[in-house]
Amino acid sequence: MIVVTGGAGFIGSVIIRYLNDAGEKDILVVDEKDITDRKINLSNKIYTDYMDKDAFLDAVKRNRLKGIRSVIHMGACSSTTVTDKNYLDRNNFMYTRDLSIWCVNTGIHFLYASSAATYGDGSLGYSDSDSATPSFKPLNLYGQSKQDFDVWALKTGYLSKITGFKFFNVFGPNENHKADMRSVPNKAFKEIGETGKIRLFKSYHPDYTDGDQMRDFIYVKDAAEAVMFFFRNKNIAGLYNIGTGKARSWNDLAKALFAAMNLPVNIEYIDMPETLKPRYQYYTQAETEKLRNAGFSNAFTSLEESIKDYVGYMKEEKVL
């Protein structure tokens, strides 16, 4: 059996789609008890059972689960605005730590989601090397909870036995439930449909004009393909950036959306909230050399083609 935590969520449910397409049907989905807001993400998936995340961790601690060969741990609180550090410590750091210890001790292949939020403002670069990992300073408590686990896994030697993914700006089908944490393409699709325009933040950095702040946008299908590569190659461990390695601007993204919706480009630049200015990232771009050296050779879908494909899902209100 394969366990996918956060399996009703965004990336987790897409991974289940890819597992199903690869012939994997014996899957235990782990997520919150109430998944009313994202139950649709599992509507077209094949899986054996579903378990509440707290009940699952209790079963792990009591060693009641047998016959599991892989755990793909995508479950976490991913909100960058949560201010309850104790909750994030329990839900993100300690949960992942306890699960990884159990998997290593019982010979179960363990893969988990870290985040590019660990890189903070980017001033220390975007290297996924072991030597660089302890130095990063996240800008929010969510990123810190992911950084705390990465550093713990590195210092204890667990990182040589498990595989982690630093996801950059992932967008695509199955994210409607994420509320304010939905991607900009998801939010903007509705905004453009209602108003005919998209609003982007003004720039307050001399090196970037309005809307030309840059991100490493990666389509969720490409992110899932990367995870599947490591799922199939159980001998490859370590921490890996999951990004395209090519930063694109918000203006590029907006133009791709208008083109996919067959509408004229109409961008309004708005003031950035004062609370966001000190911790805003003007540029992110994954270093992908380590990922490529591991053997992942897939080409990443261009921003324009990704947006075009995603708009098709949003227009038809369907999940992947």
Helix, strand, or coil (residue 212): coil
| pLDDT at residue 83, rounded to an integer | 87
| pLDDT at residue 81, rounded to an integer | 81
**By the 8 A CB rule, do 169 and 215 touch?**
yes
Helix, strand, or coil (residue 315): helix
User: Quick one: three-class SS letters along 225-278?
Assistant: HHHHHHHHCCCCCEEEEECCCCCEEHHHHHHHHHHHCCCCCCEEEECCCCCCHH
| pLDDT at residue 29, rounded to an integer | 98
User: What Cα–Cα distance (Å) separates residue 149 from each residue in 15, 59, 66, 267?
Assistant: 22, 22, 25, 39
Name the pLDDT band for 79 (thresholds 50, 70, 90).
confident
Q: Which of 149, 166, 156, 145 is nearest to 216 (CA)?
A: 166
**By the 8 A CB rule, do 249 and 303 touch?**
no
| pLDDT at residue 168, rounded to an integer | 97
| Mean pLDDT value across residues 44-50 | 97
Residue 264: exposed, middle, or buried by beta-carbon count in 10 A (0-12, 13-18, 19+)? exposed
Predicted TM-score of the model (pTM): 0.96
Whether 45 is catalytic is no
| pLDDT at residue 132, rounded to an integer | 97
Angle at 90 between CA 83 and CA 284, to 5 degrees: 55
Cα separation, 320 vs 6, in Å, equals 16
| pLDDT at residue 174, rounded to an integer | 98
Cα separation, 114 vs 92, in Å, equals 10
| pLDDT at residue 281, rounded to an integer | 87
**By the 8 A CB rule, do 28 and 1 touch?**
yes
| pLDDT at residue 107, rounded to an integer | 97
Catalytic residue among 161, 178, 246, 308: 178
Which residue ranges form the domains of the chain, and what is each CATH number?
2-171+217-243+287-298 (3.40.50.720), 173-216+244-286+299-320 (3.90.25.10)
**First-to-final CA distance of the chain:** 22
Catalytic residue among 119, 142, 158, 240: 142
Which pLDDT tens digit goes with each residue over 194-247? 999 999 999 999 999 999 999 999 999 999 999 999 999 999 999 999 999 999
| pLDDT at residue 25, rounded to an integer | 97
CB atoms within 10 A of CB 127: 17
Select the highest-mean-pLDDT range: 81-90, 179-188, 252-261.
252-261
Max CA pair span of the chain: 59
DSSP-assigned letters across all residues of 82-151:
---HHHHIIIIIIHHHHHHHHHHHHT-EEEEE--GGGGTTSTT-----TTTGGG---SSHHHHHHHHHHH
Cα separation, 147 vs 142, in Å, equals 9
Q: Which of 113, 259, 105, 252 is nearest to 192 (CA)?
A: 259
Whether 178 is catalytic is yes
Q: Which of 68, 85, 67, 219 is nearest to 140 (CA)?
A: 85
